[in-house]
Amino acid sequence: RAKKEGRGRWTLFDPQRNAVAVSQYAMSVRIPMALDRGEFFLDYQPLCALDDGAMVAVEALVRWRHPELGVLGPDEFIMTAEDSGLIIPLGRWVLLHACEQAARWADRFGDAAPRMNVNLAVRQARNAGLIADIDRILRSSDLDPGRLQLEITESAMLGPRDPALQALHELVGMGVSLTVDDFGTGWSNLAYLRDLPVSGLKIDGSFVSELHASGEDPVGWRIIGGMVSLAHSLGLSVTAEGVETAADAQRLRAIGCDCAQGWYYGRPVRPGEITRRIVEAAGGTRADGEG
Ligand code: C2E
Ligand code: MG
Ligand code: MG
Ligand code: MG
């Protein structure tokens, strides 16, 4: 039976979907049509400051309302989109819609609006049109570049000669910030921390979730503590992903981690739900969920 649990595991035992899953090619060729038909949408998940719980940013997470398969999570189509190059138009769509949403919140709530985190595939960073795309999107959405933060997965990190490096430096020059996603999973060569103008690290959710599996796990906590120290010694802010319990949040706060993201602080939700949270945090009572 198909079961909704864990990270993007929506479908494991559904034979019909398995049949379709093997045909990644069929899936990827449908992406342009799905873009035309408006089948993609973005949910937003809060990133909260550990000291006072304030929602400082949200991460845009793409989903596909597939006409035959139902709602698909990104783990089911992002890789094929990268392999086929269709991540370029899909990623552009994500950036545009996330920036438009961020601008609506900024217009309505000013400094109380959350910043917008968007995942950037390495293939996008290597695409010659990226700078022009982002520049155009920031202008058309009228979003302050300082409100946009791009997340780049550590496992995809770039060597010193990678053509993406120049583009990433240019983006930072435009006022956009960069953060390392899934930190700790890349068997890293940490040289990119020297070569890339990143301003934050996101500790991969597996570190926090392994703590649950092993109860009190001093080694796991020490590893997280070490990552926090490394980040701070480089002047970077650090966010822990996969924070599911109050106890996790408490320990992370004690370690000095800056922010947290995870079910304890809120699942990925429709934009109207984020709007409701901003209003609530501001002590407002206006009940509308238009986003
Ligand atoms: P990510 O960037 O590391 O995003 C965090 C993932 O962890 C999300 O899965 C989120 O739903 C899940 N998550 C958040 N809190 C918890 C928690 O407390 N417990 C558990 N077990 N999971 C939690 P999602 O939405 O399935 O996204 C998976 C990955 O797909 C993302 O990982 C990101 O790498 C990629 N992705 C999503 N949207 C985009 C996009 O627009 N462009 C690109 N290139 N990649 C995307
Ligand atoms: Mg991310
Ligand atoms: Mg991550
Ligand atoms: Mg991840």
Contact criterion met (CB below 8 Å) for 249 and 50: yes
Q: What is the ipTM of this complex?
A: 0.97
Q: Is the CB of 114 under 6 A from ligand 1?
A: no
Q: Is 181 in the pocket of ligand 1 (CB under 6 A)?
A: yes
3-state percent helix, strand, coil for the chain, nearest multiple of 5:
50, 20, 35
Ranges of H-type helices in 41-161: 78-84, 87-109, 122-125, 130-141
Using DSSP's 3-state secondary structure scheme, residue 291 falls into coil
* Single pTM value for the model: 0.91
User: What residue type is assigned to position 183 of the chain?
Assistant: F
Asked if 186 and 168 touch (Cβ cutoff 8 Å), the reply is no
| pLDDT above 90 coverage of the chain, percent | 72
Q: Which residue among 120, 241, 245, 264 has the greatest number of ligand 1 atoms within 8 angstroms of its CB, and so is best to mutate?
A: 241
Average pLDDT over residues 100-110: 98
Q: What's the 260 CA to ligand 4 centre distance in angstroms?
A: 14
* Spatial separation of the C-alpha atoms in residues 272 and 258, rounded to whole Å: 26
| CB-count exposure of residue 69 (10 Å: 0-12, 13-18, 19+) | middle
- Give the tens place of pLDDT for each residue, 65-78: 999 899 999 999 99
Considering the chain, what is the average pLDDT of its residues? 88
| In the predicted structure, residue 258 carries a pLDDT above the cut 50 | yes
Structure tokens at 123: 């293939």
Q: Can you give the pLDDT at residue 210?
A: 84
Q: Is the CB of 78 inside a 6 Å radius of any atom of ligand 1?
A: yes
Q: How far apart are CA 208 and CA 246, in angstroms?
A: 12
φ/ψ of 129, rounded to 5, equals -85, 0
Pocket test for ligand 1, best of 5, 61, 267 (most atoms within 8 A of CB): 61
The token duo for 265 is 């602080």
* Residue 251 backbone class (left: φ over 0; alpha: ψ -120 to 50; beta: rest): alpha
Check pocket membership of 274 for ligand 1, CB cut-off 6 A: no
If you take atom 27 of ligand 1, which residue's CA is the nearest one? 74
C-alpha 181 to ligand 2 mean position (Å): 6
Encode pLDDT of 179-197 as tens digits.
999 999 876 678 788 888 9
pLDDT band at 282 (very low <50, low <70, confident <90, very high): confident
Other C-beta atoms lying within 10 Å of the C-beta of residue 234: 14
pLDDT at residue 20, rounded to an integer: 52
Please state, in angstroms and rounded to a whole number, the distance separating the CA atoms of residues 198 and 234.
10
State the average pLDDT over residues 239-252: 96
